[in-house]
Chains A and B, each alone.
Chain A
Amino acid sequence: MFSEADWIALRLTLQLAAIVTLLLLVLATPLAWWLARTRSWWSRPVAALVALPLVLPPTVLGFYLLVALGPEGPLGRITEALGLGLLPFTFPGLVVASLIYSLPFVVQPLRAAFEGIDEATLEEAAALGAGALDRFFSVVLPLSRHGIAAGGVLGFVHTIGEFGVVLMIGGSIPGETRVVSVQIYDHVEAFDYAQAHGLSALLLALSFGALLLLYTLNPRLRSV
């Protein structure tokens, strides 16, 4: 049912989503913790910045990324100076774009989970002699496991479903940047509706399955 090109696109997409989700869980955790706990005025612009990909058209994000990561863009100059070359049309470029694009989907549930942790619990742990890091790893993270699971699942499926940004900076290179959503688009544009149906149905089932899992594990989930 799937062609070889479809399988390549599927493998690439799952690889991208897995890498992005792992990186996001690491990067989003301190950010979400800070947003949940700080009283600084700066949390507002930072929260707005993090949430931007929720409302921005992906084409806007992709367009600016293409310009910024290009040879004359500020980020492109940095990556070239570091010997990394230019990121557009490369797999690492997609990872960078997806990190930005999926960030709010991981930060929001984490932040909600962190906000739900009672200050008194942390104070008790401190009174028992637990240091800041110890408190975080042995109290905060176990108490936030539902939020972490939610962030991971949402980040994963959202990266799988990403289309506009990839279309703008990917260049549709097989095995490198042609992810499933772009492959579906190419099928549709070439009037190959049967192939498009196969991959689309798979994405639909995968996304529904992931969300069903999420809501089954955590029926009280309100934050997403």
Chain B
Amino acid sequence: MTLPVRRFCALLLIVALVPASANDRLLLATAANFKPAMEELAAAFRAQHPDVSIEPVYASTGKLAAQIRKGAPFDLFFAADMQTPQELVQEGLAAAPVRVYARGRLVIWRAAGDAASLALADLADPRFTRIAIANPRHAPYGARAVEALTAAGVWTLVQPRLVYGENIGQTAQFVHSGNAQVGIIALSQAREPELAQRGSYALIDDALHAPLDQGYVVMRRAADRPAAARFTALLATVAARRIIERHGYTVPPAALE
């Protein structure tokens, strides 16, 4: 081997062998829609507990649950629904109870034009040729959007013009890029600076769909870990509640006690 090749291999070896931090580590499996709020919660936790390295991992609830079932080393699971963490409790992978940490809201969002005066019934207007919602088969926000459209009496008119985002984030991107004129996304997303700068939203009456309650559980493997208890204690504080609410969720009063 020539010298540069040897040096390169040596470098690769060093990179490969450096341990990736062995401290007290807390891995939080987090539904992707909660990412902005979780980043702030994690930062607040780091400020209080610099000795614990806290790492949120973001993906769809279904993917995270599948990973947990295959032995992924998560300590807490923040799902986008209640059912998935409850199933994990029944399967013995998580320690009861499942607690609500946030309740989501649906909004009609547009990148161009004013959305504030839009109601669900307006989506029947043929000028909206593409309407984006999250895939109702596996994304909770998509399933609730279908319920709301049905309750508003416009489902059959809107359905042929729907495009389906793989998750609620992609749904927002379809509208943000202008490829769909309007979309049904989460309030938490519409509040994000990137979207808030570009578009406007109208809240959808939450009486039109089942509640978008998001529940968390402590995994069985972390049930006795003090670091996990410290994070759930942080969630119960007023400061944490303010962070979650600022990101467009409501926090049911009894949830975090």
Partners in one complex: yes
Interface residues, chain A, CB within 8 Å of chain B?
A: 66-67, 69-73, 76, 86, 88-89, 167-169, 171-173, 185-186, 188-191
CB of B164 within 8 A of CB of A173, answer: yes
- B47-104 contacts to A (CB < 8 Å): 60, 62-63, 66
- Nearest A residue (CB) for B160: A173
Interface residues, chain B, CB within 8 Å of chain A?
A: 60, 62-63, 66, 130, 132, 135, 137-138, 162-166, 170, 173-174, 177-180
| CB contact under 8 A between A88 and B60, given known A167-B166, A171-B165, A186-B135 | no
CB of A86 within 8 A of CB of B179, answer: yes
CB of A172 within 8 A of CB of B62, answer: no
* Partner pick for A186 among B138, B162, B174, B179, CB 8 A cutoff: B138
Distance from A179 Cβ to chain B, minimum over Cβ atoms (Å): 13
- Chain A residue numbers with a CB within 8 Å of B66 are 188
CA distance A185 to B137 in the complex (A): 11
CB of B178 within 8 A of CB of A189, answer: no
- Chain B residue numbers with a CB within 8 Å of A189 are 60, 62-63, 135, 137-138, 166
Inter-chain pairs besides A70-B178, A169-B179, 11 sampled, C-beta below 8 Å: A66-B173, A66-B174, A66-B179, A67-B177, A71-B179, A72-B177, A73-B177, A86-B179, A89-B163, A171-B132, A172-B164
CA distance A76 to B130 in the complex (A): 15
3 tightest Cβ-Cβ pairs between the two chains A and B: A171-B163, A189-B138, A172-B164
- Chain B residue numbers with a CB within 8 Å of A172 are 135, 163-164, 166
CA distance A86 to B163 in the complex (A): 14
Distance from B64 Cβ to chain A, minimum over Cβ atoms (Å): 11
CA distance A69 to B174 in the complex (A): 12
- Chain B residue numbers with a CB within 8 Å of A190 are 62, 137-138
Distance from A162 Cβ to chain B, minimum over Cβ atoms (Å): 15
Distance from A18 Cβ to chain B, minimum over Cβ atoms (Å): 24
CA distance A8 to B157 in the complex (A): 23
Distance from B230 Cβ to chain A, minimum over Cβ atoms (Å): 33
CA distance A95 to B188 in the complex (A): 35
CB of B178 within 8 A of CB of A72, answer: yes
CB of B174 within 8 A of CB of A171, answer: yes
CA distance A191 to B61 in the complex (A): 11
CA distance A163 to B94 in the complex (A): 33
- Chain B residue numbers with a CB within 8 Å of A188 are 62, 66
CA distance A124 to B60 in the complex (A): 63
Q: Which of A69, A70, A168, A189 neighbours the largest number of chain B CB atoms within 10 Å of its CB?
A: A189
CA distance A188 to B62 in the complex (A): 9
Distance from A104 Cβ to chain B, minimum over Cβ atoms (Å): 26
CA distance A190 to B60 in the complex (A): 11
CB of A70 within 8 A of CB of B179, answer: yes
Distance from B193 Cβ to chain A, minimum over Cβ atoms (Å): 19
Distance from A195 Cβ to chain B, minimum over Cβ atoms (Å): 11
- Chain B residue numbers with a CB within 8 Å of A89 are 130, 163, 174, 179-180
- Chain A residue numbers with a CB within 8 Å of B174 are 66, 88-89, 171
CB of B62 within 8 A of CB of A191, answer: yes
- Nearest B residue (CB) for A89: B163
- Nearest A residue (CB) for B63: A189
CA distance A86 to B180 in the complex (A): 10
- Nearest B residue (CB) for A192: B137
CB of B164 within 8 A of CB of A171, answer: yes
- Chain A residue numbers with a CB within 8 Å of B63 are 189
Pull 9 A–B residue pairs with CB atoms less than 8 Å apart, ordered by A. Answer: A70-B178, A70-B179, A71-B178, A89-B179, A171-B163, A186-B135, A189-B137, A189-B166, A191-B62
